[in-house]
Amino acid sequence: MLQGIRVVEFEGLGPGPFAAMMLADLGAEVIVIHRPGAGNPVAGGTNLLDRGKKSIVLNLKLPADLTIAKALISTADALIEGFRPGVMERLGLGPDEMQHENPKLVYGRMTGWGQDGPKSRMAGHDLNYLATSGALWYASEAASPPLTPPTLLGDVGGGALYLVAGILAGLLKAARTGVGTVVDAAIVDGSAHMMALLMSMAPSGNLLKERGKSLLDGPHWSRTYACACGGYLSVQCLEPRFYAEFLHRLNLGEDPVFASQNDPAQWPEQTRALAEILAAEPLVYWAEIFENSDACAAPVLAPQEAGRDPHMAARKVWSTKDGLLQPAPAPRFDGHDQSPGPVPERGQHGDDLRAGLARMALI
């Protein structure tokens, strides 16, 4: 889908590399400028987020390597960087300089706090951005501290995916006008923006400030339950017909305890009763009970287990390639091979890229 698009990525953490990987999955030529050394200690070993990319190692403190970085950017359609505000400008690689040389360049900036504001130069991580944006408030049950799956809601959802959307929008504008743009993708912005879907329920009274009292975070039919084996079953049968199917599968259709689906006063007792029922049998038992139904109940699977799920296996969502368990590229497009590319060695494509720049008389 993005064949012919060149993206230059500056090695960073989390959302920036994820966004670049997604663009590579979509067919863009992504050149990641790695720093000298072993690489990101957080990633550890082979970095899955580098799949499908080309790698060159540059020390941006050296004038010769800085020249190569500028030459690569002059050939690019888009750039991705995730440094604190001001770092790229101090290197002479800021958007003003680079877009002067390459007017159509889409300059993607990935930060937690954004390019401006009181916290823009402060350190932070996923949970901090979510906490500040409001997106963490409804995570977890009422009596528990808010908790989200690490990196998924902030780094990926509010960060990387908004950066990808911004870059794609910028590429469309550049193709139409010949003029690039600067994309300020901040995790606090994206994660707050995602709250619009949840906030859309507020006018109907289905979203209250107090956790555990709203439509999706309070009911007995919208939570995760422990099973006898130590596994967990997710339940979220929102619509009345799905709730009825859920009760039918449990032989609870005539039980007065569960007759009222949406009475908040009854949710605590209904939750306790349902927890006791589901804790009596192992997860495999409940998975069989709810299989091929519209009860909206599903086992909670680890990634290593998800690949063996019949549905996930049929869609080939998880696979092991080059010794790494990894998800397939998404979304899917008809008529396109979307097999993920290999993870390069650090600096693997340095000689070829330098030679290409030399042939173009850029270095």
All domains of the chain in start order, with CATH: 6-195+331-360 (3.40.50.10540), 222-300 (3.30.1540.10)
- The answer, yes or no, to whether residue 217 has pLDDT greater than 60, is yes
pLDDT score at 140: 83
Hey, CA dihedral for 326, 329, 334, 335, is it positive or negative?
negative
pLDDT score at 149: 84
pLDDT score at 40: 65
Task: Give 129-153 pLDDT, tens digit per residue.
Answer: 998 998 888 888 887 888 888 889 9
pLDDT score at 45: 61
Q: pLDDT-derived band of residue 343, with 50, 70 and 90 as boundaries? A: very high
Average pLDDT over residues 321-336: 91
pLDDT score at 322: 84
Average pLDDT over residues 243-248: 97
The span from the CA of 218 to the CA of 71, in Å, is 55
- The answer, yes or no, to whether residue 326 has pLDDT greater than 60, is yes
pLDDT score at 256: 97
- HSE toward the beta carbon, residue 295, CA cutoff 13 A: 23
Looking at residue 153, the DSSP 8-state letter turns out to be I
Q: Which amino acid type is present at position 194?
A: M
How much is the mean pLDDT over the chain? 93
pLDDT score at 42: 61
The span from the CA of 43 to the CA of 18, in Å, is 12
Q: Which amino acid type is present at position 174?
A: A
Show which residues are catalytic.
Answer: 125, 155
